Amino acid sequence: MSDAQFAILDPVAGISGDMLLGALIGAGAPREWLLGLPARLGFDQVRVEIEQTDRCGIQATKVSVILPGGIQEKPSDSIAHPDQESHSHDHPSTHSHPHSGHTDGGHRHIGELIDLVRRARLSPWVEQRAVRAFELLGEAEGRVHGLPADRVPLHEVGAVDALVDIVGAIEGFEQLGITRIYNRPVAVGSGWMRAAHGLMPVPAPATAILLEGLELASSGPVTGEATTPTGAVLLRVLSSGPPPSRWRAVSADAWGAGGRNPASYPNALRLMTASGASEAGEVVVLSTDLDDLSPEYLDPLREALVAAGALDVQVWATQMKKGRTGFRIEAIANPADADAVSSALFRHSTTAGIRRQVVERLTLARRQVEVTSADGTPVRVKILEGPDGPRVKPEYEDVAALARRTGQPVHEVARDLHNRALWSLFPNKES
């Protein structure tokens, strides 16, 4: 899996397991993989249905988990105020609550579901997070109902639905090759919802526990339960929190549809695939002066700083006190990496102190492509989007390696790769 791209979940209308599954399919996760998931989890007679639908004018993907006899988990009814006798139809998503009111097929305990996860053919990355999700779900429901976490019961329909939703949502990101996930503020809804024991306020008690530590959105248009326990626990085990301050969309948004279709807002979860954008932003400049480090150790120092996260490292000669010749070391790092780079500078140099400044850095938008050299070797080429058009620069390490292998002068190899990159960008333009 690659960390070059990451995902941003936007639960502005809430989040549930089936909404996230739909968004993952919309983002490119294979349909065949999801259709075969219930059998891998030990439920040969359970099927998954995937369909395209409309949510307030937005095309979204709807995923449903169907048990034998056509039984499936349904959204709970919701009302704006407990004195109302009629039910609102603005509830956005399906959910899996213990004691949800379904009695078909008995029930399963959280501990049984964890055992099923451990017996399934899952990667360690998926299994670890799925097991933790059910542990958190059991702990939250256990606190509410006064039960041990592993003895919390889910009726069969909700149990199977939760198992497919949780494992599928986690493994879906693995299918996309994405391990970094962030989320925007989470909508929880408003009003009341009907449960097996009567009316409950939104968010439900277990959901409120699972949402601890997550940033919540301000009140929106959703009446009833917007975020389910399954949706909340998936955010807990998958998301690293708010997205980076600057990022670039990689592909079109994918939308996963909820169970209801209100006319006043799109009842869907948005998933955005993104990559970092460093064209503008704050950076930390770390600098120090040295007069007791041998020059031959400057290159290892530079390598250590880059390995720790430095974006750039500059070294130049200075004249220090008592006429001694020294060196100014200056490293630039993202704020998140500044402490690691500082530690590397202390560890790999003789400095006793570091100056730190927060500055704004403006750079050109950049991307990387691969071109094929004359001997068939793939070479990385950096493309900078300059004000007068793209600027092409082959990566030095690849140029040097190719020159050593072929015996050609480095500058000739660089010129040839530069031209090949231009031809790949503008195939109809004469050089």
Q: What are 5-25's pLDDT values in tens digits?
A: 899 999 999 999 999 999 999
- Residue 144: per-residue pLDDT: 92
Q: What is the pLDDT of residue 93?
A: 37
Give, rounded to a whole angstrom, the gap between the first and last alpha carbons of the chain: 38
Token pair 């006899």: residue: 69
Average pLDDT over residues 51-59: 96
pLDDT in tens, 122-171: 999 999 999 999 999 999 999 999 999 989 998 888 899 999 999 999 99
Q: Which SS3 state, helix, strand or coil, does residue 108 take?
A: strand
- Alpha carbon 48 to its chain's center: 24
| DSSP 3-state of 113 | helix
Give whichever of 214-228, 242-256, 402-416 has the largest mean pLDDT: 402-416
What is residue 80's predicted lDDT score, i.e. its pLDDT? 62
Q: Residue 219: pLDDT band by 50, 70, 90 thresholds?
A: low
158 CB neighbour count, 10 Å cutoff: 25
Residue 103 predicted with pLDDT over 80:
no
Indicate the helix (H) or strand (E) that contains 47. strand 47-55
Run of H or E including 329: strand 325-333
Q: CB–CB of 116/134 below 8 Å?
A: no
Could you give the maximum distance between any two Cα atoms of the chain, in Å? 89
Using one digit for the tens of pLDDT, what is the confidence trace for 329-349? 999 998 989 999 999 999 999
